[in-house]
Amino acid sequence: MDAIQVGIIMGSDSDLSTMTKCAEILKQFGIPYYMTVASAHRTPDRVAAVVKRAEEEDWKVIVAGAGMAAHLAGVVAAHTIIPVIGVPMPSSDLNGLDALLSTVQMPGGVPVATMGLGSAGAKNAGLLAVRILATSDQALRDKLREYRDREARSVIEKAEKIESTQ
């Protein structure tokens, strides 16, 4: 079994379908990952334990997704020097503004790489993790370029379809 490169932690199992977008990107790039649930508020010790394991096993990136007063990414970042990517969940009444501000407005000293809200953010968390891993992996850089070109071609195909039907 390959060593874990990326850890995905979500604050609640209700975030699973969203955070799966992150896992799917990692799978697509062949990056071994570990995905689990750990709540900064209901299971602070579990969060600490997962982060400790991350340091011991030398994970390269941790992705943390949470909603409402989303403290998970910040708490993880406080316990490690591994790069932490935060995904705010739009799960509450305030359209996700609470989760977004709780994740991004970190005080100087403890960075959280914050993504956009929800599925787009989760997908981008996976891609940022790959970009980070690719800084020391030429093969991954090539794969990222191929991925980007495929995405661009997909836009162009849609454009052609729309143009042809006018």
Residues 18-57 that bind a second copy (CB under 8 A): 21, 23, 34-46
Residues 138-157 that bind a second copy (CB under 8 A): 141, 144-145, 148, 151-152, 155-156
Q: State the angle between helix axes of 118-134 and 138-164 in degrees (0 to 180), rounded to the nearest 10.
A: 140
Number of residues that bind a second copy (CB under 8 A): 88
Shortest distance in whole angstroms from residue 162 CB to a second copy: 6
The DSSP secondary structure of 23-64, one letter per residue, reads HHHHHHTT--EEEEE--TTT-HHHHHHHHHHHHHTT-SEEEE
Site membership for a second copy, residue 60 (CB under 8 A):
yes
Closest by alpha carbon to 62, among 142, 137, 128? 128
Site membership for a second copy, residue 64 (CB under 8 A):
no
Separation CA 40–CA 99 (nearest Å) = 13
Phi, psi of 81 (to 5 degrees): -110, 5
Shortest distance in whole angstroms from residue 48 CB to a second copy: 8
Site membership for a second copy, residue 87 (CB under 8 A):
no
| Dihedral sign, Cα of residue 11, residue 43, residue 46, residue 109 | positive
Shortest distance in whole angstroms from residue 156 CB to a second copy: 6
Residues 108-127 that bind a second copy (CB under 8 A): 108-120, 123-125, 127
Both tokens assigned to 100: 């977004």
Shortest distance in whole angstroms from residue 161 CB to a second copy: 8
